[in-house]
Amino acid sequence: MMTILRPILGLSSLVLAWALAVWLFNVPNYISPGPLGVAKAFSNNFGALVKNLVPTMEAAVGGFLIGNFAAICIATVFVHWTRVREIYLPVAVFFNTIPIIALAPVLILIFGLGITSKIMVSAIVCFFPMLVNMIRGFESVSSSELELMRVMSASRREVFFKLRLPRSVPFLFAALRISATASVIGAIVAEWIGAELGLGVLIIQTTFDYRTELLYAAIATSSLLALCMFTIVVVAETFIVRWRTS
Amino acid sequence: MSAIRVSGVDVAFTTASGPIQALSDIAIDIAEGQFCVLIGPSGCGKSTFLRVIADLQAPDRGEVQVFSGNAAEARRARRISFVFQEATLLPWRSVIDNVRLPLQVGNWKSVGRPHRDPNELVQLVGLGGRESALPHQLSGGQRQRVAIARALVTRPDVLLMDEPFGALDEITRERLNDEMLKIWQETGTTIVFVTHSLSEAAFLGQSVAVMAAHPGRMSKIVNLDGEKPAGAIDRSSSRFFDITSDLRRHLETAEGMAMT
């Protein structure tokens, strides 16, 4: 119980400090509203927020699923065919150095303003951490585990499904935690560059219109979305990974 | 009939500081059903030798015969089981699922040999009631018991054990030695057991092969069949003391050979 209460205490203290700062320095509303103003904007614009949340969520979840799935498949290929890995992993590392904000316009040019490009941007953000983690996970088997499988004349397929894949599960969840929040970032970045609806669009519009209370409410909503996805991953992990390495 | 026949086996490793002759001209003949203990100073290649028999290490030269075929054939026919120094249990599998693992891989079904009941084996190694426990919930000794049950589930013709109790405390080790002897008597499996404990060798071995290091080679093969007619021996008896001293002398001779 205390483990939940303490962070709530931490968050409340910061919100209180924020309210105090706004009041003490007499900050105008269009620069930064207080927590109460944001809460009011949240309830007044609930419908608009939900309407904008849905496409962002679709893009984030879609990108999360596609990016992670693709990364797991490619990591599987890399672990089995070292040559392919030697040829393509450096290329993947190179692509990862391109800032996503620089890559997003290119994808929007190719895939248009619809959901496809948003999913693509989100998927790319998820892809690399999962690829690196899964390669490490598949290779985290010990030499005596591999020898045990060899004494039993296990096939490559059996070594993969009975040893490498279960071994990699903690690494899988480490990457899922990263991409749960990163996928939302990807979706919002894509929406900044160009989209008709979404939290990213709302953030840009409210900034330009000085509707700062709604801007803060939109930020809080995107943070809630990321938090929900992160929580789902953590809960799934506690149910799935019950073992520990001694 | 001999279960394992090894002749003229050489193994060399290339290391950063040049090649190392791990095994040189090794020859041994282990009869079916024998409990053979390998003992020797560290670095004498005992483990390497065991790995050659298991087809985990290919010899550079020489012949390894396991029953009618070579080591690779015996491995593919699932006639060999191996117990490592580390229990090497899969941590996400329960005790019983770890014991079942050998029946789920490596074409076991097409081998067509009747296997042992995993539940019975868990009982046999004294872990009845802990079937659904996960490895991290067990002690080191209990984990090694699971590894032994896992090795026995396929009714192997050859059981290779590489210092299986090396990481355990003396009391646990002696208890597991008692049980190992019982398991051997019950199953009649040929066992090759590597250790660097003299008392373990004296207690378990029906024959004890003493190895010398640099390069790893056979120094002396001591037959204890006559000394231990019933298989087991009382650890506090003078006979046990004599066997141990005898083995110590052979080991010292082997080490002396290495120094010259």
Q: How high is the ipTM of this complex? A: 0.90
pLDDT confidence band for B232 (50 / 70 / 90) = confident
For chain B, the residues whose C-beta falls within 8 A of a C-beta of chain A are: 51, 54-56, 75-76, 78, 80-82, 84, 86, 88, 90-92, 101-102, 104-107, 134-136, 143
Q: Determine the pLDDT at residue A91.
A: 93
Interface of A with B in 35-94 (CB under 8 A): none
CATH superfamily of B2-79+156-259: P-loop containing nucleotide triphosphate hydrolases (3.40.50.300)
Q: Determine the pLDDT at residue B227.
A: 76
Helix (H, G, I), strand (E, B), or coil: what is residue B35? Answer: strand
Helix (H, G, I), strand (E, B), or coil: what is residue B11? Answer: strand
Q: Determine the pLDDT at residue B108.
A: 92
On chain B, the residues whose CB falls within 8 A of the CB of A169 are 92
Structural domain for A19, as ranges: 1-32
Q: What is the mean pLDDT of chain B?
A: 90
Residue A173 lies in a domain: yes
On chain A, the residues whose CB falls within 8 A of the CB of B78 are 152-153
Q: Which of B174, B165, B222 is nearest to B39 (CA)?
A: B222
Token pair in block for residue B132: 């659904």
Q: Determine the pLDDT at residue A220.
A: 94
Chains A and B: how many Cβ contacts under 8 Å?
Answer: 69
Strand partners, B194: B38, B162
pLDDT confidence band for A246 (50 / 70 / 90) = low
Q: Is the same domain home to A14 and A75?
A: no
Q: Is the same domain home to A11 and A52?
A: no
Q: Is the same domain home to A44 and A93?
A: yes
Radius of gyration of chain B (CA): 18
Residue A100 lies in a domain: yes
Q: What is the pLDDT of residues A208-225, one digit of tens each?
A: 999 999 999 999 999 999
Which residue from A148, A153, A158 is facing B88, i.e. has the nearest CB?
Answer: A148
- Gap between the Cα atoms of B173 and B170, Å rounded: 5
Q: Is the same domain home to A47 and A117?
A: yes
Q: Say whether pLDDT at B76 is over 60.
A: yes
Q: Say whether pLDDT at B20 is over 90.
A: no
Q: Determine the pLDDT at residue A233.
A: 96
**Element of type H or E holding A129:** helix A115-138
Q: Determine the pLDDT at residue A13.
A: 96
The three-point CA angle B228-B254-B180 to 5° equals 35
Q: Is the same domain home to A233 and A144?
A: yes
Name the minimum distance, in Å, from the CA of B35 to any CA of chain A: 20
Q: Is the same domain home to A39 and A159?
A: yes
Q: Say whether pLDDT at B258 is over 60.
A: no
Token pair 């000085």 is at which residue? A210
The answer to whether the Cα torsion of A116, A120, A121, A122 is positive or negative is positive
Residue A160 lies in a domain: yes
Mean pLDDT of A168-176: 96
User: How many structural domains are present in chain A?
Assistant: 2
Mean pLDDT of B184-209: 92
Which residues 6+ apart lie within 8 Å of A149 measured at CB? A158, A159, A162, A163, B105
- Under a CB-based contact definition with an 8 Å cutoff, are residues A197 and A52 in contact? yes
**Element of type H or E holding B145:** helix B140-152
- Gap between the Cα atoms of B9 and B49, Å rounded: 9
Using a CB–CB cutoff of 8 Å, tell me whether A208 touches chain B: no
Q: Determine the pLDDT at residue B157.
A: 94
- Under a CB-based contact definition with an 8 Å cutoff, are residues B189 and B218 in contact? no
Q: Determine the pLDDT at residue A2.
A: 73
Q: Do B88 and A145 touch (CB under 8 A)?
A: yes
Q: Determine the pLDDT at residue B257.
A: 64
- Under a CB-based contact definition with an 8 Å cutoff, are residues A190 and A122 in contact? yes
Q: Say whether pLDDT at B216 is over 60.
A: yes
- Gap between the Cα atoms of B29 and B44, Å rounded: 19
Q: List the single residue in B with minimal CA-CA distance to A142.
A: B88
